[in-house]
């Protein structure tokens, strides 16, 4: 089986909209969906939210990705924390089922027929969701209160469940819970509690379930989470991340891998280019060469073989200067991987 190329999620806004306008439209679109009003029929929401989501999604599709994450233009914490804030006054952290949804997924589902016809195939989606421990760290802190942790897990499970689409035109192939702080800054919870929280958060069916991490320091804990299918690690900018995880460990736990094979750490890339005398780099200069990405992919593939079922860029591309530069990175990554098949 060929390794599928996906992306982690965030993407630059198009040049024709500013951040404040999009953020305002995002909140209004979410409320309109909750109230059952058509976001496509509202002129402001249609132009400042729906069009942006669809245009950005098409740019990702044009790069040739096998599985495409919704374009995550809104802050990865706020998009889930704000609905949680709305229910905290009721003494809970569990968001109502009808409000636990991702507006971008709603828009893509509404536009699925046209997108599918343009692509000439069914749209294969990936949904990234900020994980329960990451949200808990931001909202509560490092002191563990198990009942509250489990409430965060239930909220995340609801967001995940509502992101699973399956129609003639669109199918959610993967759902990823993102836990970038895990292994760096951890909740002071015992191992059994961490396992229970993740098992509950991943308690949904019908898709491949990924957990996206920036550190492998606690990978032994994650191998025991039965509901997780794929461990996803940064590798291009952090090659040591996969040193401690062997093919044999994956075989024993029956887990798969997603390895990031192209760098997305744009600030470091820009600093390196500046040191070389390139103060105003072009998109071509910012993106690694196809040959560099291909060699990195081959090294990871040699180590993990058919256990490496997903690959793509390291982390999201929200900080990149333009959509064109981000799209070029996606395309070079796809071309590099496909050249190895």
Sort 209 into a burial class: Cβ within 10 Å, 0-12 / 13-18 / 19+.
buried
Which residues, other chains included, contact 299 with Cβ-Cβ below 8 Å and sequence gap of 6+? none
- Residue 209 CA neighbour count, 13 Å, CB half: 21
Q: How many CB atoms lie within 10 A of CB 116?
A: 16
Sort 72 into a burial class: Cβ within 10 Å, 0-12 / 13-18 / 19+.
buried
Q: Residue 310 has what pLDDT?
A: 98
Q: What residue segments make up the domains of the chain, in order of their start?
A: 4-338
Structural domain 4-338, CATH architecture: Alpha-Beta Barrel (3.20)
Which residues, other chains included, contact 80 with Cβ-Cβ below 8 Å and sequence gap of 6+? 129, 130, 135, 155, 156, 159
Q: What is the pLDDT of residues 42-60, one digit of tens each?
A: 999 999 999 999 999 999 9
Q: Residue 153 has what pLDDT?
A: 98
Q: Can you name the residues that pair with 166 across neighbouring β-strands? A: 171
In whole angstroms, what is the distance from residue 201 CA to residue 311 CA? 23
Q: Residue 341 has what pLDDT?
A: 79
Instruction: Label residues 268-301 b or e (16+ Cβ within 10 Å = b).
Output: ebbeebeeeeeeebebeebbbebebbbebbeebb
SS3 69: strand
pLDDT profile of the chain (341 residues), mean per 10: 93 96 98 95 97 98 98 97 96 97 98 96 98 97 97 98 98 98 93 97 98 92 96 94 94 98 97 96 97 98 97 96 98 97 79
> For the chain, how far is it from start to end, CA to CA, in angstroms?
9
Q: Residue 192 has what pLDDT?
A: 96
For residue 232 the two structure tokens come to: 């996803």
Supply the Cα-derived Rg of the chain in whole angstroms: 19
In whole angstroms, what is the distance from residue 177 CA to residue 204 CA? 12
Q: Residue 308 has what pLDDT?
A: 98
């Amino acid at each position: 089986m060929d390794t599928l190329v996906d992306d982690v999620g965030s993407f630059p806004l198009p040049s024709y909209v500013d951040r404040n306008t999009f953020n305002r439209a995002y909140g209004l679109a979410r409320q309109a969906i909750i109230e059952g009003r058509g976001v496509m029929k509202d002129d402001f929401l249609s132009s400042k939210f729906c069009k942006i989501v669809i245009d950005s999604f098409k740019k990702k599709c044009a790069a040739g990705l096998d599985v495409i994450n919704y374009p995550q233009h809104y802050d990865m914490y706020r998009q889930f924390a704000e609905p949680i804030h709305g229910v905290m006054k009721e003494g809970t952290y569990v968001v109502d089922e009808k409000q636990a949804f991702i507006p971008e997924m709603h828009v893509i589902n509404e536009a699925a027929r046209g997108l599918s016809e343009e692509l000439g195939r069914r749209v294969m989606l990936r949904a990234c969701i900020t994980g329960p421990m990451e949200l808990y760290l931001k909202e509560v802190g490092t002191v563990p209160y198990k009942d509250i942790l489990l409430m965060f897990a239930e909220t995340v499970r609801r967001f995940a469940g509502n992101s699973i689409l399956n129609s003639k035109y669109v199918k959610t192939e993967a759902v990823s819970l993102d836990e970038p702080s895990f292994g760096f800054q951890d909740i002071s919870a015992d191992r059994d509690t961490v396992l229970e929280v993740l098992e509950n958060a991943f308690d949904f069916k019908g898709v491949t379930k990924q957990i996206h991490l920036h550190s492998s320091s606690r990978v032994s804990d994650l191998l025991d989470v039965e509901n997780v299918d794929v461990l996803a690690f940064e590798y291009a900018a952090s090659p040591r991340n996969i040193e401690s995880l062997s093919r044999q460990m994956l075989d024993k736990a029956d887990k798969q891998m997603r390895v990031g094979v192209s760098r997305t750490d744009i600030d470091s890339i820009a600093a390196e280019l500046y040191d070389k005398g390139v103060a105003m780099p072009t998109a071509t200069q910012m993106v690694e060469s196809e040959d560099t990405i291909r060699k990195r992919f081959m090294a990871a593939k040699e180590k993990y073989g058919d256990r490496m079922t997903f690959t793509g860029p390291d982390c999201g591309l929200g900080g990149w200067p333009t959509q064109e530069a981000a799209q070029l990175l996606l395309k070079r990554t796809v071309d590099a991987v496909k050249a190895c098949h």
